[in-house]
Amino acid sequence: MLASLLRSLLRPHAARAPRREPVVAGAKWSYVGLSEWRYGLIAYNRNDEYIGRSLATYGEYSQFEVEFLTAWLRPGDVVLEAGANIGPVTVPLARAVGPTGCVYAYEPQRLVFQLLCANLALNELGNVVAQPRALGAQAGTARVPAIPPSQAHNFGGVALSADAGGEPVSMERIDDLGLADCRLVKIDVEGMEAEVLAGARETIARLRPLLYLENDRADRSPPLIGLVQSLGYRAFWHLPPLFNPDNFAGRAENLFGNTGSVNMFCVPAESGLHLAGLTEVAGPDDTWSDKPASRGVIRSG
């Protein structure tokens, strides 16, 4: 009912271009925006340079990535998402697996996590288990840089830090969760993808989920690819552009140019899956720099 009421209040303004109001110095809570988007309603940080800007302008974020991932999911599936941010991918994943499925969404940034929970409530998603924790190779404590939400920043690009000035956050291993089923593990943790995988070896060996991993740091790419292949997986580059010409808001202007995400989609070698339209990762020294952008994909096998 809350979502319906808010949507009715927003709808009279839907024809107008979204406003990006400047944040007044010292104003409290002035950074939160609320808009209709492709999947319902979403709250976002107006000062976020990528996710917030895309949601405010286009009513969606990385739609090519969302469509790619949801195409692999069925009602009742279980998904684990490390680095959920405010939920622009979490929400459509949860809709894809339906009320009989489940999404475990981890987001260690405290204020970002609060917006994630707001979006789960706005979209009435009771099939998401949201956790304000980090995932890694070992259980323990990590630190998250405390970035004021009122300043312009890429809040989706914040990495865990050893800086004692950061906010402490609990860290656990995927293997400690005791999952009975898992269709997809999505990891976007700003260079710590290998550490999260290392803490999931037993789960991966037992359940053989699909893996979707950010891999945009050249210095960390070879060990990550090597680890994926050592787990008995084939990896494929998936490079979705941020701008979707057929975006929800119908906006033609491309604010992001050629900017896109750098990910690997990994399937168990024994699965027999073949992906037309994606380039297979040749080995640890392979790079994404000469690979084409990825939109759709044809699945066979």
Instruction: Find the radius of gyration of the CA atoms of the chain.
Output: 19
Assign 277 a pLDDT band (cuts: 50, 70, 90). Answer: confident
Longest dimension (CA), the chain: 57
Q: Is the pLDDT of residue 151 over 90?
A: no
Domains and CATH numbers, the chain: 2-17+31-138+173-300 (3.40.50.150)
Residues with Cβ within 8 Å of residue 35, at least 6 apart in sequence: 10, 18, 41, 42, 44, 55, 56, 59
Report which residue type is found at 238: H
Assign 147 a pLDDT band (cuts: 50, 70, 90). Answer: confident
Helix axes 90-97, 110-122, angle to 10 degrees: 40
Assign 11 a pLDDT band (cuts: 50, 70, 90). Answer: low
Hey, which bits of 132-242 come out as E strands?
Answer: 134-135, 140-144, 167-172, 184-187, 210-214, 233-238
The mean per-residue pLDDT over the stretch 144-166 comes to 70
Tell me what pLDDT residue 235 has. 96
Listed in sequence order, the DSSP H helices in the chain are: 2-10, 51-58, 63-70, 90-97, 110-122, 193-198, 201-207, 221-230
The mean per-residue pLDDT over the stretch 175-179 comes to 97
Q: What is the pLDDT of residues 124-139, one digit of tens each?
A: 999 999 999 999 999 9
Q: For the chain, give the mean pLDDT.
A: 87
Q: What is the pLDDT of residues 99-122, one digit of tens each?
A: 999 999 999 989 999 999 999 999
Q: Is the pLDDT of residue 299 over 70?
A: no
Q: What is the pLDDT of residues 196-224, one digit of tens each?
A: 999 999 999 999 999 999 998 999 999 99
Taking CA atoms, 129 is separated from 2, 80, 209, 226, in Å, by: 20, 10, 18, 31
Tell me what pLDDT residue 125 has. 97
pTM over 0.85: yes
Residues with Cβ within 8 Å of residue 104, at least 6 apart in sequence: 78, 79, 80, 81, 128, 129, 131, 177
As a whole number of angstroms, the distance between CA 116 and CA 106 comes to: 10
As a whole number of angstroms, the distance between CA 208 and CA 257 comes to: 36
